[in-house]
Chain A
Amino acid sequence: MTALPGLNLDARAMAGAAPVSLARVDRSQWARAPRIAREGGGRIVALWGTDNRDRGQGFAVYAAYAVASGLVVLELPVDEQAASYPGIGETFLGAIRMQRTVRDLLGLVATGESDTRPWLRHAAWGPEEFPLRRDFDERAQREIVQDDYPFVRVEGDGVHEIPVGPIHAGIIEPGHFRFSVVGEKVLRLEARLGYTHKGIDRRFADHDIASGHRLAGRVSGDSTVAFAWAYAQAAEALLGIEPPPRAAWLRALMLERERIANHLGDLGALGNDAGLAFALSQFMRLKEDWVRTNQEVFGHRFLMDRVLPGGVDGDVGDAARDRMLREADAIESEVGVIHKVFDEHSGLQDRFITAGRVTPELARTLGLVGLAGRGSAQPFDLRCDFPCSPYGELGVRKVVHANGDVAARVKVRFDEVVESLRLVREILARLPAGSTRVALPDAQPNAMGFGWVEGWRGDVFFALEAGEGNRIRRGHAHDPSWQAWPVVEHAVIGNIVPDFPLINKSFNLSYSGEDC
């Protein structure tokens, strides 16, 4: 099948569990690609860049598009002097912040874009310093000054602004929200993120391929399994190895356990944000039981560092299997009781229904995918669309609702908990025997590999390039929150300010995953 027809791509199918092809393109192909991808129902997954001047090759930018045949990654060499490439924000709005980040970190400018404000760069480094360039001086003394970020102003009679953050009222990650309101009604919300930027992409160069999963697993702590698995896929692809079957099944077990843990926590928090404290206590209790089992079986409450290149760390014995099977039944019946309470609670439904509505059309335009996308009739789920082992054998039932409001996102979570519990039982019942890990061969310098995994929030992507001596030359982690944050800004328009926490929670996007 031709990915991006009409571009005459010289695409090379990449090894590994993720269905990825890589094509080097010229500027004209790069510039035409977004429209062709859009017309074929495709979307932008990630956009990043790298410094290849040490190889005498200038820079390169990459764009990963999801199309019908899988993921096609375009590589555009960028001249060192020009340091620019054609922007794709006109077709894919979700790419604009990624392009601003490429400018902040690498100094490559997307041409033809009107929004040229910095994104991840606040004031910690200068506008002409680029942390992802190989000649960046990490140790230079820099003074943090207060930066002045030009938010878009809304003018008019009675319009005023409410600035919120970066430190929020609750126990939440930091970010700044600027509301323009009339009375209680939100006219516009503009988010400014980047507060949790930790320089992770640069940090990968301090790791070797065998240990990079630890850093990948901390891009967004609540999605540690998804990121570590995407990283492992990328590493295994470039090393030309496959994890043993048992390891693949155990990874899926952990990924579904991660999905259930997060959904349980979110359902509790959503009930609480709508005034039902009972929901918070009950779901937090169930989640605590669930992560305690993780601790006992796998040695970590959130399963950090259990998925690694070559397989998994840990195994499931008969006793642990029986325990998890019993637990799945018990949790399902408890969730059923609370689900009924939710459905019959008119006060709760009154807050949920129509709040923060994202129509299917808006979701499609903005490229919303993952859990929130499935609440707005965007039927994407890698576990069904491009199943890697073992998902092909599990027949995941995709959960899709169409209303696009908080209620729909609550429904998706309830239904996905039930489906993931089924998957947990299925995996435990059919877990293949054998080893859980293979040894890692040496990596070819400059080899590339990609990983793409359906985390609980949406599709997590990882691009990895090997350096000399099994080191990482370039690692890039992409969280689905990148595409979803702009959607939250739209979802709150016309809602009242006090509904923002509820709407925001219904997406529960990662700040760290985006800022990383």
Chain B
Amino acid sequence: MIPIIRQVLRTGIVSEPTPEAREEWRVRSSQIQGDILRLLGRALVIRQVDAGSCNGCELEIHALNNPYYNIEGLGIRFAASPRHADMLLVTGPVSRNMERALRIAYEAMPDPKLVVAVGDCGRDGGLFGESYATCGGVAKVIPVDVAVPGCPPPPLDILTGILTAISRR
């Protein structure tokens, strides 16, 4: 136990400041009433769905949970079930083999059903585009509130996308 405590003390707190929301990434004019952050008591529950990504975006979503970005410290948590989620965080061009599962996850989610598409693939299919195997972006399958560009977008951009979706100007 002592080596663990020593290492924790030596590491200290490395968490960094949170970014601002970005209006220009907004895709759908949000119908959400009020400030979700305030409405939900500053807690936000996300269900992440990989809809055929190359797994690069997942690496960056994982990184959001590291101590630098400290996403749980902001009151944002990832859930196992879409029924417990306020937001779907979707990666990938939506492979045709994941299209049905993505729709089911979306339908299972309670309102307000926020959707953030992550990465160039999620935005418009990216390098994979629209093909026999891919739908060409998350918005082709379910309504998208915010699309975060990048291949993959760095963690701060993903966090910015999440905050953009839940903030209303």
Residues of A in contact with B (beta carbons under 8 Å apart): 120, 122-125, 131, 136, 138, 142, 144, 146, 166-167, 169-174, 194-200, 202-203, 214-215, 218-222, 224, 265, 278, 280-282, 284-285, 287-288, 291, 295, 301-302, 304, 337-338, 340-341, 344, 510-512, 515
CB neighbours of A194 from chain B (8 A):
97
A18 and B60 alpha carbons, distance in the complex (Å): 32
29 CB contacts below 8 A, A to B, read A122-B96, A124-B96, A142-B132, A144-B96, A144-B100, A166-B98, A166-B101, A167-B105, A170-B80, A173-B53, A174-B50, A194-B97, A195-B98, A196-B53, A202-B132, A203-B128, A215-B127, A221-B54, A221-B58, A222-B59, A284-B62, A284-B65, A287-B66, A288-B68, A302-B59, A337-B7, A341-B7, A344-B3, A512-B54
Are the C-beta atoms of B128 and A199 separated by less than 8 Å? yes
Are the C-beta atoms of A173 and B50 separated by less than 8 Å? yes
B90 to chain A, nearest CB (A): 11
A173 and B61 alpha carbons, distance in the complex (Å): 12
Contact with A along B23-63 (1 / 0, CB 8 A): 00000000000000000000000001111111111111111
Query: By DSSP majority rule, is chain B's interface helix, strand, loop, or mixed?
Result: mixed
CB neighbours of B92 from chain A (8 A):
196
The verdict on B137 contacting chain A, using a C-beta distance below 8 Å, is no
Contact with A along B127-169 (1 / 0, CB 8 A): 1110111100000000000000001101000000000000000
Are the C-beta atoms of B132 and A284 separated by less than 8 Å? no
Interface residues of B in 71-87 (CB under 8 A from A): 78, 80
CB neighbours of A278 from chain B (8 A):
4, 7-8
A284 to chain B, nearest CB (A): 4
The verdict on B14 contacting chain A, using a C-beta distance below 8 Å, is yes
Are the C-beta atoms of B131 and A199 separated by less than 8 Å? yes
CB neighbours of B67 from chain A (8 A):
281, 284-285
CB neighbours of B100 from chain A (8 A):
144, 146
Residues of B in contact with A (beta carbons under 8 Å apart): 3-4, 7-8, 11, 14, 48-63, 65-68, 78, 80, 92-93, 95-101, 105, 127-129, 131-134, 151-152, 154
Are the C-beta atoms of B52 and A197 separated by less than 8 Å? yes
Instruction: Given contacts A341-B3, A510-B55, list 13 more A-B pairs with CB under 8 A.
Output: A120-B97, A142-B96, A144-B99, A173-B53, A196-B97, A197-B133, A198-B131, A199-B133, A215-B127, A278-B7, A280-B65, A302-B56, A512-B54
CB neighbours of A295 from chain B (8 A):
154
Contacts A167-B49, A220-B55, A341-B7 given: A174-B63 contact, CB under 8 Å?
no
Are the C-beta atoms of A174 and B98 separated by less than 8 Å? yes
Chain B's closest residue to A139 (CB) is B132
A219 and B52 alpha carbons, distance in the complex (Å): 11
Are the C-beta atoms of A221 and B56 separated by less than 8 Å? yes
B117 to chain A, nearest CB (A): 16
